[in-house]
Amino acid sequence: MTAKWIYVLEELGQEHLELVGKKCANLGEMTKLGMRVPPGFAISVAAFEEYMRATGLGAGIAACFAGRGDELRKGVQAQMDASAVVKQMMADTPLPPALAGEIRRNYEALCARFGTSDVPVAVRSSGAVSMPGQMETYLYVRGVDEVVSRVREVWQSTFNTRAIAFRLEKGMPVDTAPIGVAVIRMVNAKSAGVILTVVPTTGDLDHAVIEGNWGLGESVVSGEITPDNFIVNKATMAIDRKISRKTRWVVSTGRGTSMADVPADMQDRPCLDDKEIQEIIRTALDVERYFGAPQDMEWVIDHDLPFPENVIWVQARGAKYATPRKEADADYIVDQMARLFRT
């Protein structure tokens, strides 16, 4: 594949990890498997590098960090100061017109598919190296100008203090962190969550664990609610349910999101019905068989679509698990949910 700045998801697969980052490559692979994935496009690592090269930012950022390795390793304040300087440099530096134009054209093409000029999208990082929780994610982004702005802000977040500290700890170059960016249509989420096709605390391969909440999955990360928990026997499809009282959820404000109270009549209801659980487990087991390994996957139930078209997938990756694990299942899954919204 000839390197370019932007790819639609259907052009991508696992072999393009270095080209567009893990998240975008995985989304492309999922489309090839026939999974229902929100449409969108991937902004490549080459686009980030073009922004750094064409504007002179790359050289300026390298100069900012030059000779400061020992200082940065010794204290958080030095990392915070460097982060503030570099992020301001990037905030003051617009994207090159040709690159901004490519992003605009791809967003307008996505809008045209849905007959609107401002289809809501998620703009999130897609690193070739996993850096969970380090970069920013923006939800319900609307309009070409805001999309271009949010892409630049995701790139800026590669120089967050926590991202700088992560690279120092891992012995990675601190002055550069080229990443891809995923721009995908938002799902009008009735509920959202994760499935692991292994029980992470025990390595039990005979059961899968599903957790979720009403609305967008960010509510699980906030710690304000305990999600519903479903343990599914992969052979018999028998379901063991633990339904929590879910008093808070994350909903769209039209431009962005907010935490709100769950309506009283929904608080004690399961966020998934049996047929949705069965569809989630069926697809997850297909993916597990395809890759030959347990999977860690994120799902969203679309409020506007009929079953089974309403079961949408937004991530699939190999599950991390060990035998034994000290953490509780719920703690592990909360951590995985955080990766969806912060990586």
User: Which are the contacts of 9, defined by CB distance < 8 A and separation ≥ 6?
Assistant: 24, 27, 28, 31, 37, 39, 40, 41, 42, 184
What would the pLDDT profile of 258-294 be if each residue is shown by its tens digit?
999 999 999 999 999 999 999 999 999 999 999 999 9
Ramachandran category for residue 137: left, alpha or beta (phi over 0 → left; psi -120 to 50 → alpha): beta
Chain-centroid distance of CA 51 in Å reads 22
Bridge partner residues of 248 (DSSP) = 261
* Lowest model confidence (mean pLDDT) among 5-14, 160-169, 201-210, 328-337: 328-337
Residue 130 confidence class, pLDDT cut points 50, 70, 90: low
Residue 331 confidence class, pLDDT cut points 50, 70, 90: low
Determine the Cα–Cα distance for residues 130 and 161; give it in Å rounded to an integer. 16
70: tokens are: 């020992």
Identical topology for domains 6-185 and 189-342: no
* Lowest model confidence (mean pLDDT) among 15-19, 131-135, 147-151: 131-135
Pick the CATH number of 6-185 from 1.20.120.160, 3.30.1490.20, 1.10.3720.10, 1.10.10.10: 3.30.1490.20
pLDDT at residue 190, as a whole number: 97
pLDDT at residue 337, as a whole number: 54
Ramachandran category for residue 325: left, alpha or beta (phi over 0 → left; psi -120 to 50 → alpha): beta
pLDDT at residue 55, as a whole number: 97
Q: Where are the domains of the chain?
A: 6-185, 189-342
Furthest C-alpha separation in the chain: 61
Backbone angles phi, psi at 285, to 5 degrees: -70, -35
Chain-centroid distance of CA 111 in Å reads 21
Chain-centroid distance of CA 106 in Å reads 20
Q: Amino acid identity of 78?
A: A
Higher pLDDT, 336 or 90: 90
Q: What is the DSSP letter of 164?
A: H
What percent of the chain shows pLDDT beyond 90?
80
Mean pLDDT of all residues in the chain? Answer: 91
The angle that helices 76-91 and 144-156 make with each other, rounded to 10 degrees, is: 150
* Lowest model confidence (mean pLDDT) among 143-157, 233-247, 321-335: 321-335
CATH class as words, domain 189-342:
alpha beta
Determine the Cα–Cα distance for residues 148 and 102; give it in Å rounded to an integer. 10
